[in-house]
Amino acid sequence: MGVFYLLCLVTLVLASSAIACDRCVHRSKVAFFSKAQALQSGACGYGSLAIGFNDGRLAAAAPSIYKDGAGCGACFQIRCKDERICSKEGTTVLVTDQNRNNATDFVLSSRGFVAMAKKGMGQDLLKLGLADVEYKRVPCDYQNKNLAIRVEESSQKPHYLAIKFLYQGGQTEIVGVDVAQVGSSNWKFMSRNHGAVWDTSRVPNGALQFRLVVTAGYDGKWYWAKSVLPADWKNSVIYDSGIQISDIAQEGCSPCDETTWKHQS
């Protein structure tokens, strides 16, 4: 499937939304992982890198949020609803895994779960084990850090290239990736292998550039990373793309959250 087709598909889907907004409020329940190691083997493929993301406030998300990997790296503001224990602001978590238990929309890291509590009430919240919450997607902010591309250990130069994206800012999803030799217009499409990992067995020679399609506004938007991987690229190395993503993708929902949440007990 080519990137042009994906761009057209994104445009059609978003344009057909009856009500579009950038803050849809959802209600569900969340649980937590008792061990941090569970998130290192997450479906997004971040591995041990995940522990260093977002101060450890991480989440495994339901399939409707995980979206076959497109939801990897998405940020959500989430707060529990017990006013005795929970803060009004809640916390922001980052999706690093898929939650296949349909009883909850998220399973959080213990640090993310405790971060929903009022000061000094973290242990009380942990004792609940399961909490009623409301949540909404919010932009990820990496404070001027560029989108990064990590070459995976499974890559086998020059026949196979696997990469994953790190520090994807804004409120977007990467839905298409192409790769070409720097200075060439002979683009080769990459496929989503799993989670945040994209790959191709048609690896161009020399230094490599990338172009991406991300969800943005009411349709898709192109990003060009014009010189990312050097000709002597190596496995397990993280390369700076030179670009930042800060767009906001619109959602179809009712009601939208325009200013502040209404806290309900």
Tell me the pLDDT tens digit for each residue of 113-157. Answer: 999 999 999 999 999 999 999 999 999 999 889 999 999 999 999
Q: What is the CATH number of domain 21-138?
A: 2.40.40.10
| pLDDT averaged over every residue in the chain | 88
pLDDT at 37: 61
pLDDT at 258: 58
Q: pTM for this structure?
A: 0.87
Residue 184 CB neighbours (<10 A): 13
The upper half-sphere exposure of residue 154, i.e. CA atoms within 13 Å in the direction of its Cβ, equals 11
- The pLDDT > 90 percentage for the chain reads 75
Q: Taken in order 174, 180, 186, 192, is the CA torsion positive or negative?
A: negative
Does residue 15 surpass a pLDDT of 60? no
Residue 53 Cα distances to 21, 73, 129, 174, 262, angstroms:
27, 9, 23, 19, 29
265: which residues sit within 8 A by CB, 6+ positions away?
81, 82, 83
pLDDT at 262: 52
Does residue 4 surpass a pLDDT of 70? no
